[in-house]
Amino acid sequence: MQADMSHQAMGYDRTSIMFSPDGRLLQVEYARKTVKQGTSVIGMVCKDGVLLIADKRVTDKLIVPESLEKVYEVDEHIGASATGILSDGRILIERSQVVAQQHKVTFDEPIDVLGIVKDICNLKQAYTQVGGARPFGVSILFAGVDKNGKPRLYLTDPTGIFFEFMATAIGEGDNEIKDILDKEYKESLSLEDGMKLAVRALKKVLGKDFDINRIDGAYIKTSDKKFARLNKQELSKAK
């Protein structure tokens, strides 16, 4: 704590391009802490597809829950969900939608999930070394099915690095959710079983705040490679 205070006093956290004496980029670290305060998102690769489940955190009773979107369609075979500063996430996901369409028009074939991930991470990394700009305060899970029919799940970090996972969580309570996934996740899970596990994990983390109306979700099956949203009936069955 004292080291952080001294770093701030010296101004090492005022720009994303200045290293502190111990080799840290404090603005980037702050961006990662912002992600920890965002709403929970769970991604899971199942035997028959890939799944995204997210908490929309509806805090105002007068808000129409359906008007809040947390899981987005990037292309018909790719979905994404962000946590952290959601305005940053929206801009990056909209960019990924444009990149996917440009690839389809140029090459007459759908883009690979990894191609989208690399493009977004290149932009994120660039914003860690540009004066007068701040890093993107958002992590995004990209889920999709590649041209070989294999389900993929990637996490993109505010630093611009990415990882491929079988199952993971980002945002509020991510460590607790990961503990549940470590114990209960199996590659043999179906999409239906995966959805039940994800909803159960969110229910445990959110406690009394859990409400099925604040849950958003989607999946892509390996059989048809089509993005499909989970409706309220499907989510209610998973409670």
The answer to whether 50 touches 153, Cβ cutoff 8 Å, is yes
Taking 90 as the threshold, does the pLDDT of residue 220 lie above it? yes
Q: Nearest-CA neighbor of 16 among 121, 125, 123, 128?
A: 128
Q: What is the mean pLDDT of residues 120-149?
A: 93
First to last CA, the chain: 41
**What's the DSSP call for residue 172?**
T
Q: Between these two residues, 236 and 157, which has the higher pLDDT value?
A: 157
Q: What is the mean pLDDT of residues 31-48?
A: 95
Fold type of domain 39-237? Glutamine Phosphoribosylpyrophosphate, subunit 1, domain 1 (3.60.20)
Residues 126 and 166: their CA atoms lie apart, in Å, by 27
Q: Mean pLDDT in the chain?
A: 90
Q: Nearest-CA neighbor of 35 among 81, 99, 96?
A: 81
Q: Nearest-CA neighbor of 114 among 160, 141, 152, 149?
A: 152
DSSP 3-state assignment of 211? coil
Amino acid at 133: A
pLDDT tens by residue, 173-185: 999 999 999 999 9
Domain boundaries, the chain: 39-237
Residues 224 and 210: their CA atoms lie apart, in Å, by 32
The answer to whether 201 touches 180, Cβ cutoff 8 Å, is yes
Taking 60 as the threshold, does the pLDDT of residue 2 lie above it? no
Tokens of 17: 């391009």
Share above pLDDT 90 across residues of the chain, in percent, rounded to a whole number: 69
Which of the four pLDDT bands, split at 50, 70 and 90, describes residue 7?
A: low
Q: What is the mean pLDDT of residues 72-80?
A: 97
- Torsion angle, CA of 66/68/69/70, rounded to 10 degrees? -120
Q: What confidence score (pLDDT) does residue 9 get?
A: 46
For residue 145, CA distances in Å to 80, 94, 225, 230 come to: 12, 19, 6, 17
Q: What confidence score (pLDDT) does residue 4 get?
A: 57
Q: How many residues does the chain have?
A: 239
